[in-house]
Amino acid sequence: MRPSHSGPRIDMQTTSSLAPETTIAVIGAGRLGGVLARALRTAGYQVLGPLRREQAMPTVDIALLCVPDAAIAAVAFVARPHARLVGHVSGATPLDDVDFSIHPLQTFAGSETPDVFHGIGAAVAGRTPDALATAEQLARGLGARPFGVDDDDRATYHAAASFSSNFVLAALDAAEQLASEAGIPADEARDRLAPLVRRTVDNWVAGGARAALTGPIARGDEATVARQRAASGGFQDLFDALAVATRAIAAREETA
């Protein structure tokens, strides 16, 4: 059986494909390592791991490092003699110590099922055509859509990912705490705010931030903005930073 999927459109073409007997060691049993090992196994590959730091490195075709970025160089050094290709899954780290990278553009807590990869983007890169083809094939085998990111752009690309996930959470956590200060219990606050968050994201996906922006800054209701700021308590610095960014969006010409 050859790993394959009949999912969404793919963004890159490749000429080679990985044989189903390809052996892959997933190194690092953290949030992504466990999910990735399950998904690669489901895709039909021979997967060892996720391997913990105390486990010996087996001899395999591919070693896939799912360790913190700071550990990639050291773990790659250990894996190198045992694998034909060494890859990492880091968004920000260049390819200095590995042959390829596959970065799934999603957040993983560790309990996800293999279909979490279906239809998501996966940034792929390789130091050789063979290594790049391997990264693309792994992405496709998982059901993801591979796309390329140059080494020089990786930090910028990963900053975009952090703005899309980590910093959204920082804003949502402030919202939850302010709602709580307004007398709405935290659980209820998340439930009440969720439709607003989802619609905002849907509108942004459909037409970008300028078209999606509503609220007092977009309306020019400066007295309301000042009252909100005064009521923001411990979040005033965050309010100010986000207000600057929001004013910049509001000042943009609408393109649609």
Ligand X SMILES: NC(=O)c1ccc[n+]([C@@H]2O[C@H](COP(=O)([O-])OP(=O)(O)OC[C@H]3O[C@@H](n4cnc5c(N)ncnc54)[C@H](OP(=O)(O)O)[C@@H]3O)[C@@H](O)[C@H]2O)c1
Shortest distance, position 147 Cβ to ligand X, whole Å:
15
For the chain, the straight-line distance linking the first and the last C-alpha, in angstroms and rounded, comes to: 47
Binding residues for ligand X, total number by CB under 6 A: 23
Rounded to 10 degrees, what is the CA torsion of 188, 192, 198, 201?
-100
Judged by CB under 6 A, which of 3, 33, 87, 143 binds ligand X? Answer: 33
Quickly count: other Cβ atoms within 10 Å of residue 3's Cβ. Answer: 20
Angle subtended at Cα 97 by Cα 142 and Cα 42, rounded to the nearest 5 degrees: 15
State which residue, 8 or 68, has the beta carbon closest to ligand X. Answer: 68
Q: Which of 10, 12, 23, 30 binds ligand X (CB under 6 A)?
A: 30
Residue with tokens 């050789």: 128
Beta carbons of 193 and 175 less than 8 angstroms apart:
yes
Of the pair 127, 210, the CB lying nearest ligand X is at 127
Task: Indicate which single residue of 24, 25, 29, 144 sits in contact with ligand X (rule: CB under 6 A).
Answer: 29
Taking residue 173's Cβ as centre, other Cβ atoms within 10 Å add up to: 14
Up-side HSE of residue 16: CA atoms within 13 Å toward CB? Answer: 10
As a whole number of Å, the CA-based R_g of the chain is 22
Total length of the chain: 256
Find the part of the chain contacting ligand X (CB under 6 A) among 23-31, 127-135, 146-154, 199-207. 23-31
Q: Which of 2, 8, 59, 68 binds ligand X (CB under 6 A)?
A: 68
C-alpha to C-alpha distances, 201 to 68, 109, 213, 243, 256, nearest whole angstrom: 29, 21, 11, 18, 18
- Give, as ranges, the residues between 99 and 158 that touch ligand X (CB under 6 A): 103-104, 107-108
Closer CB to ligand X, 73 or 249, in the complex: 73
Q: Out of 66, 124, 132, 178, point to the residue binding ligand X (CB under 6 A).
A: 66
Using the minimum distance from each CB to ligand X, give the nearer residue, 122 or 213: 122
89 and 36 Cβ atoms separated by less than 8 Å: yes
| Per-residue interface string for the shown chain with ligand X, residues 71-110, x marking contact by CB under 6 A | x---x------------xxxx-----------xx--xx--
Span of 67-75, 197-205, 211-219, 237-245 interacting with ligand X by CB under 6 A: 67-75
Least separation, in Å, of the C-beta of 254 and ligand X?
34
Closest CA to 117 of 27, 240, 32, 58: 32
> Using CA atoms, how far apart are residues 32 and 91, in angstroms rounded to an integer?
13
Q: How far is the CB of 162 from ligand X (least distance, A)?
A: 10
- Cβ 121 to ligand X, closest distance in Å? 11
For the bound state, the minimum distance from the C-beta of residue 116 to ligand X, rounded and expressed in Å, comes to 10
Residues at the contact surface with ligand X, assessed by CB under 6 A:
27-33, 52-53, 66-69, 71, 75, 88-91, 103-104, 107-108
